[in-house]
Structure 1
Amino acid sequence: MANTMKIDVHHVTRVEGHGNIVVNAKNGVLEECRLDIVETPRFFEAMLRGRPYTEASHITSRICGICSVGHATASLRASENALGVELSEQTWLLRKLIFFGEMLDSHVLHTYMLVAPDFFNVGSVIPLAGIAPEAVLRALRIKKLAGDLCAIIGGRHTHPVAMTIGGFTHLPTVDELKAIRQRLIDSRKDMDDTVALFKTLPWLHFERETEYVALSKPDEYAFIDGTITSTDNVQYPASDYRKVTNERCVEHSSAKHTAHKRDSYMVGALARFNVNYQQLHPRAKEAADALGIKPICSNPYYNSVAQVVEMVHSVEESIKICDELIARGVREETLPKFNGKGGEGVGACEVPRGVLFHNYEIGDDGKIVNANCIIPTGQNLANIEADMRELVPQVLDRGEQQVTMALEMLVRAYDPCISCSVHFLDVKFV
């Protein structure tokens, strides 16, 4: 029967870790629907125990290749909050600037190279380059710009070496900032062309009302620090993150699921857009209007659209920060010294795929006693499954190929990863 099928999706991935989709429908009734995470635990929290707090950011940046700046920043903020370290205005500006570089770097990879091929009926960016060479060249230009921006601040593109407790061990020159500023200005055309491309794509029409969670600040589109804010009108300080995450083990996943007041919630670009739309740069709001997205958007496929909006925001805010740093000048600053008194602190950041928490307890000897890291993908897993359960009955009568495509695109839309790549799924019907 057309409405009876058993789907077993095994990983053909570009991600560290393994995930399988299992769907079993009989006579139009959904009997089984889940996302199995079968990857091996990596035990980063255990690695941190007994290590000097100064090593934490360099260790945890290895959790994720593309989100390495985000993990390093969350780690540094956890240690700084534990030790009472205050940051200078220059350090804040530089951290925001490198964060925008990473956001741009990750989003262009996901939207162009992992999402766009679906709309051109090709399996990867390689054949896409033959069909739409200008689009792929544009993506590569943007990615090169983002990588270079991260490198001049962090010392290199991936796994920054210059970021440290209280500041930086290496600073960009004013000439480097002027050069990257001009490239950012030049990239506005690529941003406009990106918006023009993605507004033409036939996004799937699917909505499921859910809770969206993101960091927020009253005066900026929050990426570093902030108040945990839910579209269900609930707020918590970052130190109370456990009241939101409520991690639990599930039998079919080696990754924990999370839930707040409902059975699941979503984090990521769409959650940030829904929570913080008013803080977007005006040009990013114009991009959102052109793309046809406005809060509250409940279509998970539009997470990729929200990423395009954030790309525009990241470019514009980066230009502003470059202007301020150039006007102020970049000066060497004295880094703080450990005073022999430990403590506990939480670092919260919005990495490309959603809100990330690092929580460290540091002893008086400067070594980490306990560590806890809550990754965005883990927070999204239960919500992905809830979307799957709602989606499958709506597309079940369209045949195996369209069910396959809808499920693959749903998983891709969340951009799930540990090493900041995304699942490519090979679906077999059995």
Structure 2
Amino acid sequence: MYNDNDISALATTAERSTGPRRIDVHHLTRVEGHGNIVVRIAADGTVEQCCWEVSEAPRFFEAMLLGRDYQDVHHITSRICGICSIGHQVASLQATEQALNIRVSEQTLALRKLALHAENLQSHLLHIGFLALPDYMGVPSTLHLAETHREEVLNLIACRRMSNEFSRLVCGRTTHPQRFVPGGFARLPSMDDLHQLRVLLAESLPGLGRVIDLCASLRDRVPAFERETEYIALVAPSEYPLYWGHIGSSMDDRRPVDQYEQMTREYLVRQSTAKWARNKAESFMVGALSRFNLNHAQLTDGARKAAEVLGLAAPCHNPFLITLAQLVECMHSVEDSLFLVEALLSRGLRHEASSKIKLQAGRGASAVEVPRGILFHAYEYDEQGRVVSADCVIPTNQNHANIQKDMEALTPRLSGLPESEIERLLSMLVRAYDPCISCSTHLLETEQRKAERPVRFIRT
């Protein structure tokens, strides 16, 4: 990999490319969904076009919810994503409970926090070990590392398997959980499940440490690119929040969750079937690096030590380091989960009687942190507990503009490199965000009045 000085040096050597260059990546590999990178560079090195395109067909989950009963909504929304199904379900439940004035117990709160930690580990370890690591090792995929780095690959597989088992023990399944219901759980994990989970988490620490050491050894291969932007994440006074908090920003006052539209400020662009977002700056970042920048003081001891080993310090403005921030969060999720499990074991699990839910018209908004950033759900219900309106603002949806701005800042510095190097570094940049592109496409282009409005989208 090249840092800034290496890029400049290569661009001024005899290998410098002098003709016009075209980069057309359709579709970017090792990401979820379909996204394109389009770059045009003139013979003199002038960047004429630099575009991050979202070409994924739109999906209509908000429309699917209209008229649905409150007991069904969280199961439907979990299908928005096979990677973040837990986060979508928890966000959905939180919004429904706020709208219908349903209170949950401390036990339910602890178990939901565990579920979010399980999902964070599942997704982060998948991205770190199988999507991003090949970029830093200079190979097309992790399969190529099976021969040269067999032990490292087996360790990554073991860590990933642990995260799946974690999800199964708490949620009943590794994805699309069925135990969660408005107000609590349809079925609790057993005490044996929690004892097994405690052992599983404790035994995973050495393996996770080896992943940290591996990534630390590759630290000098991370491009030294920085672009300061706005960072948005949940914030809370006493924890590194994933489940609850206020909306925090590096450039703005913190706000309650029900004001999420004032901070996401979605808008439309021609090259995307997903809305983009902005707040104070032209764009903002959500996800592991944003959470680290805003909440690093709340990390567990082991996570802070991992950040030191990895050379990650706040504030960090290098988007290529999102992957390392995810790894720091993995250590935090394991250690905080051990704390939550110990607390549940000491109190014992109580089978809580389901209180009768009194249906009423209402509106609720929620925010939880999922692997790729802050996720918002908002619903309005009628007196029969049926959905009147729904809105889901996806983390990748919020990151698209920031990806574009990063590409615009990075591409001119790469303009003297061969096409293959430009493509590789720009692809690596987008992959660092770990985008879940399919989840973010909730728009439909219409032909009506196209003469008056060259591109018009409607919210589904």
Could you state the TM-score of these two structures normalised by the residue count of structure 2?
Answer: 0.89
1:42 to 2:59 alignment: yes
Residues in 1 aligned to 2:32 and 2:334: alpha-carbon distance in whole angstroms: 29
Q: Determine if contact 1:65/1:420 at 8 Å carries over to the other structure.
A: no
What is the identity, as a one-letter code, of the residue corresponding to 1:320?
A: F
| Deviation of the 1:31 alpha carbon | 1.6
Alignment deviations for residues 18-68 of structure 1 (CA, whole Å, 9 cap, x no partner): 211111121222221111111111100000000001111100101111100
Shift of the 420–247 alpha-carbon distance from structure 1 to 2, 3 Å rule, reads closer
Matches within 5 A, 1:14-413: 17-26=33-42, 27-201=44-218, 202-413=221-432
Unaligned 5+ runs, structure 1:
422-430
Residues in 1 aligned to 2:125 and 2:57: alpha-carbon distance in whole angstroms: 28
Matching residue of 2:6: none
Alignment deviations for residues 169-212 of structure 1 (CA, whole Å, 9 cap, x no partner): 11111111111111111111012111101111111110001000
What is the identity, as a one-letter code, of the residue corresponding to 1:122?
A: V
Residues in 1 aligned to 2:214 and 2:278: alpha-carbon distance in whole angstroms: 35
Alignment deviations for residues 137-158 of structure 1 (CA, whole Å, 9 cap, x no partner): 1111111111111111111111
Alignment deviations for residues 203-232 of structure 1 (CA, whole Å, 9 cap, x no partner): 111000100000011010010121000011
**Secondary structure class of the residue paired with 2:26:** strand
What is the identity, as a one-letter code, of the residue corresponding to 1:185?
A: A
What is the identity, as a one-letter code, of the residue corresponding to 1:223?
A: L
Q: Determine if contact 1:2/1:399 at 8 Å carries over to the other structure.
A: no
**Secondary structure class of the residue paired with 2:177:** coil
What is the identity, as a one-letter code, of the residue corresponding to 1:183?
A: L
| Deviation of the 1:16 alpha carbon | 5.5
| Deviation of the 1:126 alpha carbon | 1.4
Q: Determine if contact 2:35/2:437 at 8 Å carries over to the other structure.
A: no
Q: Determine if contact 2:20/2:41 at 8 Å carries over to the other structure.
A: yes
Residues in 2 aligned to 1:162 and 1:259: alpha-carbon distance in whole angstroms: 36
Alignment deviations for residues 117-148 of structure 1 (CA, whole Å, 9 cap, x no partner): 11222211212222211121111111111111
Q: Determine if contact 1:67/1:420 at 8 Å carries over to the other structure.
A: no
Alignment deviations for residues 219-262 of structure 1 (CA, whole Å, 9 cap, x no partner): 10010121000011421111000011111111111111101011
Pairwise CA RMSD of aligned residues?
1.4
| Deviation of the 1:419 alpha carbon | 5.6
| Deviation of the 1:418 alpha carbon | 4.2
| Deviation of the 1:14 alpha carbon | 5.4
Unaligned 5+ runs, structure 2:
1-16, 441-460
Residues in 1 aligned to 2:278 and 2:187: alpha-carbon distance in whole angstroms: 40
Shift of the 10–330 alpha-carbon distance from structure 1 to 2, 3 Å rule, reads same
1:10 to 2:47 alignment: no
Residues in 2 aligned to 1:377 and 1:204: alpha-carbon distance in whole angstroms: 22
Residues in 2 aligned to 1:313 and 1:276: alpha-carbon distance in whole angstroms: 12
| Deviation of the 1:85 alpha carbon | 1.1
Aligned length: 421
Hey, which bits of structure 1, 4+ residues long, moved more than 3 A?
12-17, 418-421
Shift of the 30–163 alpha-carbon distance from structure 1 to 2, 3 Å rule, reads same
Residues in 2 aligned to 1:112 and 1:259: alpha-carbon distance in whole angstroms: 31
Q: Determine if contact 2:100/2:359 at 8 Å carries over to the other structure.
A: no
**Secondary structure class of the residue paired with 1:262:** coil
What is the identity, as a one-letter code, of the residue corresponding to 2:310?
A: L
Deviates more, 1:406-415 or 1:396-405: 396-405
Larger Rg: 2
**Secondary structure class of the residue paired with 1:311:** helix
Q: Determine if contact 1:65/1:158 at 8 Å carries over to the other structure.
A: yes
**Secondary structure class of the residue paired with 1:205:** coil
Residues in 1 aligned to 2:32 and 2:227: alpha-carbon distance in whole angstroms: 29
Q: Determine if contact 1:154/1:170 at 8 Å carries over to the other structure.
A: no
| Deviation of the 1:401 alpha carbon | 2.1
What is the identity, as a one-letter code, of the residue corresponding to 2:367?
A: A
What is the identity, as a one-letter code, of the residue corresponding to 1:18?
A: H
Deviates more, 1:267-276 or 1:233-242: 233-242
Q: Determine if contact 2:54/2:437 at 8 Å carries over to the other structure.
A: no
| Deviation of the 1:398 alpha carbon | 2.4
| Deviation of the 1:335 alpha carbon | 2.2
What is the identity, as a one-letter code, of the residue corresponding to 1:263?
A: E
